[in-house]
């Protein structure tokens, strides 16, 4: 009983402080809306037609956009919402370079 209360308090504090894991799902059950996060389309939307997407080291967090000689991080949640509409967000349950999925 005491452990459950401590867990609830710590969880509340972490969420209030914004320390929840990036890309964590909302409280309600999530529905997968896409098995492909459109990273290239995100890069084009954000940085223009001359930009392209690439992955550093084939890692789950290695996705970048490149334009000329500059590289930029990718907002995977925004990439999902661009492809699948408002409220869509990204998660990578397998923590692999190609494991990103979009949910709502």
Q: Which residue has the higher pLDDT, 64 or 24?
A: 64
Helix (H, G, I), strand (E, B) or coil at 76: helix
pLDDT at 30: 84
Query: Is residue 23 included in any domain, yes or no?
Result: no
Let me know how many helices (H) and strands (E) the chain has, helices first. Answer: 3, 6
What pLDDT sits at residue 24? 54
Rounded to whole angstroms, the Cα distance separating 102 from 104 reads: 7
pLDDT at 4: 41
In a domain? residue 11: no
pLDDT level of residue 34 (50, 70, 90 thresholds): confident
Say if 80 falls within a structural domain: yes
What is residue 4's DSSP assignment? H
Give me the pLDDT at residue 35, please: 86
Give the chain's mean pLDDT. 81
Whether residue 36 is contained in a domain is answered as: yes
- At residue 2 the predicted structure's pLDDT band, cuts being 50, 70 and 90, is very low
1 falls within a domain: no
* Spatial separation of the C-alpha atoms in residues 82 and 24, rounded to whole Å: 18
Is residue 73 included in any domain, yes or no? yes
How many domains is the chain partitioned into structurally? Answer: 1
């Amino acid at each position: 009983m005491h452990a459950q209360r401590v867990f609830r308090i710590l969880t509340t504090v972490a969420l209030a402080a914004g320390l929840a894991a990036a890309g964590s799902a909302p409280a309600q059950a999530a529905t997968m809306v896409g098995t492909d996060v459109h990273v290239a389309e995100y890069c084009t939307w954000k940085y223009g037609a001359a930009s392209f997407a690439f992955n550093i080291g084939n890692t789950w967090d290695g996705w970048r956009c490149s334009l000329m000689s500059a590289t930029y991080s990718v907002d995977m949640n925004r990439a999902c919402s661009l492809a699948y509409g408002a409220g869509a967000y990204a998660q990578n349950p397998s923590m692999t370079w190609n494991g990103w999925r979009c949910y709502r």
